[in-house]
Amino acid sequence: MDPFIKELKEKFVHSDDLFLHEEEILDVPVLLVGFKSLIDFTKTKVTLQKYIDTAISSQKTIGELLNEIGEVKEKDLEEAVSSIMTGKLLIISNSHRKYAVIEPFHNMLNRAIEPPTNENILQGSLSSFNEDIKTNIGLIRKQINASNIRAEFFSVGSEQKTKLSMLYFEGQADKKLVEKIRSSFEKNQDREINNLQNLAKSLGFSGWSVISKVNTTELPSETVAFLRKGRVALFVDRYPFALILPCFLWDMFTLENDRNYPIPLMASIRLVRIFGILISLLIPALYVALVAVNPEVLRIELALSIAQSREAIPYPALVEILLMLIILELIIEASVRLPSSIGPTITMVGGIILGQAVVEAKLVSTLLIIILAATTIANSTLVGIQNSLAVRLFKYVLVILASIYGVLGILGGIVLISAYLASIETFGISYLNLNYAKEGTKNG
């Protein structure tokens, strides 16, 4: 037996889905090697037989045939293993020092193109990305017919190879940004990328940043809009969304789909999102500050009304609001984890019953229930789930500062959050940048 084939068998000795099929091509014995779970062997063999029949009629040699249908390589064990793992078919001959890598018919392992599951679209394209990089790039190219769009592929990881792709518009994207991203992947080719934290480390980002330095979207229309503005899109194999670099604060409030409305309506929608983040951040902290520290700021009628609603409540305002905020976080997390068929019903009924019970038990005030409901709804108006999570975290910082310093603490907390946002940079580009696009579109 060929030592190369023997080593290959030993490498996959415990892989029962590996096939080694003996065949004759142009009277030369060869071995077909691949994974049954990745390759449709029947369709592949039928197509291969058509090439063989054509080669017989043309009197081609096996070397000419293999060069025509695939890529011929020197026998290298690591490269052969990598090809098999990525779903390629290997044609190995005992009498030659080379083997051919063929692109076979693959088993259908990817979802069809479906409507987005995490981003709701009212007027616009309903296509969304799936887990296959090639399909996602195809959606981008179908969305916009431009010759200056560039797609670069990378393969990273020492043991588990992960495919990455970088898309950008040549002439619009910053060359320095593209080069920095490219060099980051080239320097970290041996780093495993199994999640977005690993990807952030490969790009040189800190894993402790509250604000994500990449914007995620599962919509090709949004991705194309970012590319037009000079951004860079990254695709990671088996992740059904695009990662946009750099990310800015204004991305919390804008969607390309907003441009399907008249300008006054578009501006109104974005203004509502700005009010949403202000309500989500400030209202819980104002409640604590005005109830526990600075009640003199309120009008006497309002102060008496709030005091009456908190009558017989045994906890200070800070404990009261933290208790309800934590319970609300548990309800939100439960709604995400429960099956979609029962999750909304259980969390809605549980929230209503729990809210009514804690008010009747005099554990929290009715005003706090209203504030928490408004805060949760306002937080959901922001664009992007990661942005909503960051705002939910900042909310606790303001609540704690308000319980200590009152209204002054809220002001100090806003200054601290603003300073933190101003300190965030992505490859030297500020998070607060508003004029990044070289050819930005008008009206927002």
pLDDT digits (tens, 9 = 90+) for 95-143: 777 888 988 888 877 778 888 888 888 777 888 998 888 899 999 988 8
pLDDT at 310: 80
Spatial separation of the C-alpha atoms in residues 169 and 125, rounded to whole Å: 21
Which residue ranges in the chain fall short of pLDDT 50? 438-444
3-state helix, strand, coil in the chain (%, to 5): 50, 15, 35
Got the DSSP string for 218-259? --HHHHHHHHHTT-EEEEETT--SEEEES--GGGGT--GGGG
Spatial separation of the C-alpha atoms in residues 230 and 171, rounded to whole Å: 8
- Contact between 90 and 99 (Cβ < 8 Å): yes
Helix H or strand E segment including 345: helix 343-360
Q: For residue 28, count CB atoms less than 10 angstroms from its CB and return exposed for 0-12, middle for 13-18, buried for 19 or more.
A: middle
3-class state of residue 200 by DSSP = helix
Spatial separation of the C-alpha atoms in residues 246 and 244, rounded to whole Å: 6
Distances (CA, A) of 201 to 183, 286, 305: 13, 37, 52
Edge-first strand order for the sheet with 242-245 is 149-156, 162-169, 232-236, 242-245, 215-217
Torsion sign (Cα): 173, 257, 425, 205: negative
Residue 32, strand partner residues: 21, 91
233 CB contacts (<8 Å, ≥6 apart)?
140, 166, 167, 168, 223, 226, 227, 242, 243, 244, 245
Spatial separation of the C-alpha atoms in residues 437 and 235, rounded to whole Å: 21
- Contact between 304 and 328 (Cβ < 8 Å): no
260 CB contacts (<8 Å, ≥6 apart)?
123, 124
Residue 233, strand partner residues: 167, 244
Q: Which residue has the tokens 């890598």?
A: 101
**Given the DSSP bridges, would you call strands 242-245 and 232-236 parallel, antiparallel or unpaired?**
antiparallel
C-alpha angle 424-430-433 in degrees, rounded to nearest 5: 130
